Amino acid sequence: MAAPPASDPHRFGRVDPDGTVWLITGSGERVIGSWQAGEPEAAYAHFGRRFDDLHTEVVLLEQRLVTHAGDARKIKAAAAALAESLPDAHVLGDVDSLAARLTAIVEHADEEAQAERARRDEQRAAQLARKEALAAEAEDLAANATQWKAAGDRLREILDEWRTITGLDRKTDDALWKRYSAARETFNRRRGSHFAELDRGRAGARQAKEALCERAEQLSGSTDWGPTSGLFRDLLAEWKAAGRAAKDVDDALWQRFKAAQDAFFSARNAATAERDAEFKANATAKEALLAQAEQIDLSNPEAARAAFRAIGDKWDAIGKVPRERTAEFERRLRAVEKKVREAATSNWTDPEAQARADQFRVRAEQYERQAEKAEAAGRTKDAEQARASAEQWRQWANAAAEAVGKRR
């Protein structure tokens, strides 16, 4: 069953025989529309429903204001907007009553906004008091607790409760958090010191260091230099934190740990020296190739390209150089490549340019495969260098392909 209308449209309007629809208000009459779609009664129903819709909006605003279900400032703005729309509203109903109710909403909204602020302030004060009490309790536990398990459990409970308390400003919340965090750290230090004293002279340190020795011996033969070096640093930090066993036991365990550590680092240093020597030799070889490349006769573009390709093949076969020289070598090689390319540009035919672009692309793909293999083997630095070379050759391939396109 349909709900009854908010007001009687016949009382607040009329429909002329020509279909003109009038709204009657306390300030007079005004035309709100023309009805040509049927009987006058249908016009009353149509414009009456429109009034019902407006009436429903007003009722909702009143309810939200009374029940504190929304922001009073937004309710006020909505009511003011509806009030401004009433003089032009195409409705049949008690518009004057709606205007009065909207005026009341606007007037009461300011009072409600002030009440909302008061409620928010009260809530913030309550939340602040809760967190201050929790911070004070944590500080008391940090300074005085000796029942370590119970106190630790309570500090965790405080943290759980802390996370449920919201609504404070950032500055205040941060200051209170620092108090709690400092208290927890103080407690943890006191508890750690207490148990460290209990453990001193016991078998715990000996067992821990024996386990560290076993781990060090397992790592001593590794050739994964970077990650294993980090693991040895971690082991050493654990060793220092394990405490001391009896002096003779501790000394023997240290000699055992140090022997494993020295075996690894001696092997690493030898491998590094060998690698450095290899890279240095590679650098010498590449310097010689660069000298040849920089002397290429550019007067014959085809011969220059062939000479540069031959040098490029030798360059790739040589291998890596010291990292600090990589950029220098690549820069010089690119400079030669640019000169050769520029010298050949005016004479390249489309097939030659395409072949050159294809060669560059193949070279880029070779470096990409090298990068994948290095990555799979855990040689991260090698992979990065291979990817950088692949990117450079890819750029050259793109430039050559663009040149082909321009000639077409």
pLDDT digits (tens, 9 = 90+) for 144-170: 888 988 989 988 998 998 888 887 888
User: Does the pLDDT at position 43 exceed 70?
Assistant: yes
Give pLDDT tens digits for 206-263: 888 889 888 888 877 888 888 988 988 898 898 888 888 788 988 888 888 889 889 8
d(CA 397, CA 357): 5
> What number of other Cβ atoms are within 10 A of residue 31's Cβ?
11
* Residue 109, amino acid: A
What is the C-alpha to C-alpha distance for residues 362 and 400, in angstroms, rounded to an integer? Answer: 13
* Joined tokens for residue 40: 């006058």
Question: pLDDT digit string (tens) for 305-347?
Answer: 888 888 888 888 887 888 888 888 788 888 888 888 887 665 5
User: What pLDDT is attached to residue 56?
Assistant: 94
Please provide the size of the chain in residues: 408
* 62: exposed, middle or buried (Cβ count in 10 Å: 0-12, 13-18, 19+): middle
Calculate what percentage of the chain has a pLDDT beyond 90.
21
- Please check whether residue 7 is in contact with residue 93, taking contact to mean a CB–CB distance below 8 angstroms: yes
Q: Are 132 and 174 in contact (CB under 8 A)?
A: no
Residue 54: is its pLDDT beyond 70?
yes
Angstrom CA distances, 144 to 150, 189, 213, 309, stand at 13, 13, 39, 79
One DSSP character per residue, 104-160 reads HHHHHHHHHHHHHHHHHHHHHHHHHHHHHHHHHHHHHHHHH---HHHHHHHHHHHHH
DSSP, res 260: H
> Tens digit of pLDDT for each residue in 75-125?
889 999 999 999 999 999 999 999 999 999 988 887 777 776 777 777 788
Confidence check: pLDDT of 274 > 80: no
CA angle 93, 98, 103 (to 5 degrees): 160
Give residue 3's pLDDT.
46
Residue with tokens 């010291």: 322
